[in-house]
Structure 1
Amino acid sequence: MGKEDDMRNGEVYDENSIKALKGLEAVRVRPGMYIGSTDTRGLHHLVYEVVDNSIDEVMAGFATKIDVTVNPDGSVSVADDGRGIPTGIVPEEGKSGLEVCLTDLHAGGKFDQNAYKVSGGLHGVGVSVVNALSTWMVAIVKRDGKVHRQSYKTGIPDGPVEVIGETDETGTTITFLPDPTMFETVDFDFDTLQNRFRNQAFLNTKVTINFEDKRSEKRDTYHYDGGVSEFVKFLNRTKTPIHDSPICINGEYHEKDAEGRDRVVIVDIAMQYTDGYNESVDSFVNTVSTPDGGTHMTGFRTSLTKSLNDYGKENNLLKDITLEGSDAREGLTAIISIKMADPQFESQTKEKLGSSIAQTAVTSIMGEKFKEYLDEHPQVAQTILKKAQSAYEGRMAAKKARDATRRKSLLESTSLPGKLADCSEKDPSKCEIFIVEGESAGGSAKMGRDRAFQAILPIRGKILNVEKTRQDKLLDHDEIRNLTIAIGGGIGRDFDISKIRYHKVVIMTDADVDGAHIATLLLTLFYRQMRPLVEQGYVYLAMPPLYRVMKGKTQRYCYNDAELAKAVAEMGGPDAKLNISRYKGLGEMNPQQLWETTMDPDQRYMKRIEIADAMLADQLFSTLMGDDVEPRREFIIEHANEVTNLDV
């Protein structure tokens, strides 16, 4: 491919398109500024940055295929059939465009408006940041009839760009190994990556993404002709829609900038209501997820609520009520995808859009097209309005229930549940609460705890499945009401993270099927009704030991079968006189044992619950806790070999 191919649609993409701003040292000093964090979320962001560059080639019309491979050594390869990063000498820099792109911060074709009209890799820091945070990286570029190669160590080239062969193909392949000194973990998760690639294929109907994990031999291919409509159908596969097909709204918004140039925003929306109570509305800009929303999400929500109120009142379907946004979105699954030049985000990780034109564009197109749809589909409109009115009534009932709970607690001169053994410390950042399965284990925990900073709340049996319950019914359930009052932040739409009483909320259940079910019910409650608790990392799973191995007065606790085998071997082997106890429940441990193994901050092992991908978490809870049995069965079969420590 030559320069004449680069100039399709007037776009020029060569070494003259590369603009540079110096310096990679700061990336290794403060990596969180560039990738959001150094935990599993930041690790996966490395892959997203590289793949986003390939997606930009797809959106520009120059690529149709992306191959992503997790290699046996933990490195990742991303290959596309785009134009290939320019390899000629950048005049201002005196070195190859490839080297400039991969070693200089804020360098790339995204800064040249003739190279990319629409781009997800907005800031041009993506691949260079990945390079800086990798032990090594290798770039191979097929371009201008040649195969070019350059390798790097922690962002520093091993040598100049070399020509290693000839080819009639084009494209770029980036392979990198994350630096373990930069991250808390360097173990990539197949499901997290799979979800990201699937989403991008839904948003780009022309691309085929092949994903392979050579560590587990898992592989999959993603290509969807149906776009965002097919995306919504996929998200609703575990739910029950209340109208047959997703509502599709799309269009282009044009306005002139201060210099008279045409600014275009392409809007593509699909939405479908279900009989559930949770909303699942996800937004994207240039195919990059914006989990914190932004101006395009504001435009959608405002227009949706106004359109339903206007239609309901014009057609006498809403009697003396005005819907709020939460009423209009109850049970809604929607995808808002926009594409635009030069979007403005609030951070490098592109999690919240700030461009004002996006709000105007979505509000305008949504307002016009959704009204047309409602007018042309009166039966669907009535179904949606009936659902929204039911949500309004549920919200009012929930408000009354909360008010009654507050009044009742005041009349009884107590605001904390009687079963709660609270701690004496009042600073939430120093306090933790253990939610313990069963009265017996709760009693042991109360006696074994450190009363200064540890609170204990026993729960009896399985709590209500909040995935299938409207909020006004939740506070009628004793255990959920006790949990809500004890934690202190409220519940549902009124949850206030600043009012919580503990910064560690620890779920402590037995290591059996019932314990796993109780833990899942509690996690569903926290995610659906107290979501900031999970988002800010305040929710933990206690990990009590499964075994105790004793030899004379020497004892060791083991948390899985591998640790047990190791302990047995180190304490004399199978022929030694060992006393091995298998704990089937927390209640089998006395207070001292429970403290030593599960509650002592100096010795315990706990798992913090994190949301690496909000959309994936939403799908997981819908699958595990929804009404549809088949997707849950498929999930269990697929992940059965990953289960450990399950006593059936």
Structure 2
Amino acid sequence: MRLSWHCQGRNQPHIDGTMTDKFRKLNDYQHARLRVEMYLGSREFFTIKSISYEDGIHVREYQLVPACFVAFREILDNAVDEVAIHGHGKQIKVDYYPETGVFSVEDDGRGIPIHEIPELGSGPAASILLSTPRAGRNFEDRGNAIGVNGLGAAIANFVSEWFKVEIRRDGQVFQQEWHEGTYRGKEVHRASSPKITKGRSKKTGTKIELKLSSKVFQDTTVDPAFIRDRMIDLAIAYPDKKFIFNGETLSGKLLSYGNVTKESSIEWGRGHGYVVLITSDHEGVFHHAIVNGIPMLNGGPHVSNLVNTSSNFISEALNRKARTSLGLKKSGNYVNKADLGGLIVYSQFFISDAQFDGQMKGRISTNISRNASMAVTDDLVKDFLKKNQEWVSIVIERVKDRVGKKDLEKAKKELEKKDLFIPSLTDATGKNRQDCILFIAEGLSAISGMLEVRDPAVHGGIGLFGKILNVHGLPPKKVLENKTVQDILLSLGLMIGEKADRSKLRYGKVFILSDQDEDGNNIFALLVNLFYRFWPELFQDKENPFIYKFITPLFILEKGNQRKYIYNDEKFDPADYKGWTISRAKGLGRLTKKDWEYVLREPKLIPLVDDGNLKEVLDLVFDPRRADDRKDWLINAEIISEEV
């Protein structure tokens, strides 16, 4: 908004007619409640992604109001500083139940000082530290402490409906409460008088409970799972301390949550830490960076650098494998970051006097990019790839698909430049192409008899030249470069990489012809494999199938003017046909004009539709890696055949 100041009368608009010169002076309490975003972040409801440790390490979505989580974490951070950073105490216990909206944080440290500290002012130090902004201990050399500005606890207190503390220290128990209130129409912060009693045990520590104010927050949602998982971050960061959430003791052993690489550690002047690599089922490359126990939810330069360095190392390691899989001799960078979906780059760093981007601490502003990225090493990547062979296979398939699509587009453009003239095709002439049927056979001699007696308006035929490819696992570009495949695609109007729309194809049905022998069966199966791999939708319509196996007679019987046809699924005993001339029509070339007239007039067809098993059957037959499975399958088939 552009400011345009004018000299105007009292209480008149000054800024584009939207504001007046009414001034107010807010105290710290009022300002914190009015400008929550300055101190704690957004009060809007968000869905964010982060790491979950439930049932293995993976990426999941959480729903929360960021400012509510940060308010809670300010209290938790103080406990972490006391127990984990300064080394006073052994455990931190957190309870949170969204139905009550009450947070509880308890540690067994020394307890916040309850005696008077002159530098803070008169009265118990705890009363001042928990209700006065800019009062704290982390203003000098902070070491690895999380607390930064001396604002956190007081701000969390200010935005609460009520805030309670119980401190055990020096043989005494200190208790005090604060409540929101109003006085003469203004918000006020009401504090009870501190209560100090003699302790009955040697137990020390601080327990703080708070309930966030509905007057400050319209929504106080914080997913309990998010709190639990962020406490596991802390348990992993400080494994010698005990972290308890809602009664559950959280494991600090990263390996207990999933299959991760060995840690790759780095240490330098002001910091140290480690990186591990993990796989999950999410899209893209995900980072989970923790600095001094705090998740960097807003990323940062060192996070980007870690992700890029890890991605580059892995891509380089997989390039050779991808090149071999693609059948390419030329070296090049085939694997890129987009192919590495499911990768988690997980890091824990501990930085002395770390500076964060604000009270929310979602991003570190201290430059640690160069040092942190040195934790990514060849050994780390080798260990990761060795442990995650299934993920490696998925990545290679992505590369093949991506590179294949790129090459396919080039091949498609070349094919589209070609004329429709196909020497091996005798086209149907009918205008209603849905009524037309394309007969496919191997070679012109196999189909010439059919073409002699066909109905030109309905029947088209193509005699294929050259070897029919086993397309299983082949790059689409290589398939499309095959002349036989090109002829089929141009004849039908199909294109690899595009879904088949039967209403736009040049033929309404396909009849596959083959000789009545093993070679013929192989050709038929290879054609089915081609169609199913690239256009499985052609096998879905059970009411109106697209592809058929066209069956021709196996035996032809003649006696005078009589002619009979026996198919391979019929019982046949030559002894029953004494006086008949019997010929075996093993090849399509053996069929005469009369035979073709009969089979076209009385077609015997097997429609090909997917019963749910077709993909598995074709994979079993054509995948070169499944030789043992095929052997077992053939043996079982032979046993069943013998039993029948």
Instruction: Please report the TM-score for the alignment, with normalisation by the length of structure 1.
Output: 0.48
Q: Radius of gyration: which is bigger?
A: 2
Q: Which has the higher helix share?
A: 1
Instruction: Please report the TM-score for the alignment, with normalisation by the length of structure 2.
Output: 0.49
